[in-house]
Amino acid sequence: MSLKVCVFGSGSTGNCIFVSSGSVKILVDLGLSASRVEKCLRALNETPDGVKVLLTHAHHDHVSGLDSFCARHPDTEVYCHADCLGSVWQKTGKIRNRIISVDGDFFIGDVTVSPFKVSHDVPCVGYGFLCGGKKITVATDTGKVTQKVLDIMSDSDLVVLESNHDETLLLNNKDYSPFLKKRILSDKGHLSNAACARCVAYLASRGVKQVVLAHLSRENNYPELAFETCKNFLAGQGLCEGRDVKLEIAFADRMSSLFEII
C-alpha cells in the first residue's frame, strides 16, 4: 500500500494537487481549468471518475475551476472544512449545495484526512493524508507556521509547503502597493523563502525526507532562488539537501514529478 502525490499546478494563477492511495483519488483545490486537470489525470493514467475534491479556502486561485469540473463530472464529491464553508459557498455556483462540510478527521476510502488550520486572511486549512502508515501533508497559503502546525507535519513522509516570495524582491517590487506588500508579509499572508527554509530545517531534523516547495510567486520569486535559499539554510544547520531531505519545486505552468511513498 502506498500514497502518491503530484502537484498539477501551484501558484497565484491556480492550484491543484493530486493525492492517491490507489483506490482513492483526491484533488486538493481546483483552481485550474477542468480541461487542464483532465489532461494531468490522463498523464498519470487516471480518470476523473470518482474524484474527491478537498478545498483549502475560498480564494480564486483555489476554486476557479470547481464549477466547470463538477459540471463535466457530476459524481464529483466536494469537501470543505466547516470554518471555510461560508466563504467557499459564496465563491461557488451551482454546486454549492453539494459541498460536504467536515470538521476534524474523516475518511475517504482507505485514507484518513486530517484538516488543520493555517494562518491566512480568509479561513484556510492544510491537510494531512494517512494511509498504510504513510503520511503526506499539504500546507500552502499561510503567513506563518506555528509550532502546532510544525508538529502536525513532522511525522510526514512528504510535505508540500509554501515558499511564496523573497522578501527583498517583494519590498523592491514597484508594481506592488504598500498595502499589498504589507498583506503578503503579514502573519496572514504568504510564507517567504526564508520562513519556509526554517520550517524545512525543523522538519528535516525530525525525519521528514521529502519537501515540495510550492505556491511560488511569479513576480517576487523564482525557482532557483527558492531552492537555493532553502538548501543554504539547511547547510547552515548542518543538514544536507539530498541526504537529510530532498527538495523539489512545484511550478504554476506544469506538473511536478509523481511522488510515491511506499
| Chain segment 217-245, per-residue pLDDT in tens | 999 999 999 999 999 999 999 999 999 99
pTM of the full structure: 0.96
Share of the chain above pLDDT 90, in %: 94
Confidence at residue 98, expressed as pLDDT on a 0 to 100 scale: 86
Q: What's the mean pLDDT in 19-43?
A: 97
Of residues 96 and 213, the one with the higher pLDDT is 213
Domain containing 63 equals 3-261
Q: What's the mean pLDDT in 149-165?
A: 98
pLDDT in tens, 161-190: 999 999 999 999 999 999 999 999 999 999
pLDDT-based confidence at residue 107 (cuts at 50, 70, 90): very high
Q: What's the mean pLDDT in 70-76?
A: 94
Contact (Cβ atoms closer than 8 angstroms) between residue 188 and residue 121? yes
Q: What's the mean pLDDT in 36-58?
A: 97
Query: Smallest Cα–Cα separation from 176: which of 163, 162, 164?
Result: 164
Question: In the chain, how many domains are there?
Answer: 1
Q: Cα separation of 47 and 37, whole Å?
A: 10
pLDDT-based confidence at residue 2 (cuts at 50, 70, 90): confident
Residue 44 — left, alpha, or beta (φ > 0 → left; ψ -120 to 50 → alpha)? alpha
Confidence at residue 136, expressed as pLDDT on a 0 to 100 scale: 98
CATH number of the domain encompassing residue 87: 3.60.15.10
pLDDT in tens, 122-135: 999 999 999 999 99
In Å, what is the CA distance from 79 to each residue of 17, 25, 75, 95? 14, 13, 13, 11
Residue 135 DSSP class: E
pLDDT greater than 80 at residue 200? yes
pLDDT greater than 80 at residue 1? no
Query: Smallest Cα–Cα separation from 21: which of 96, 108, 114?
Result: 108
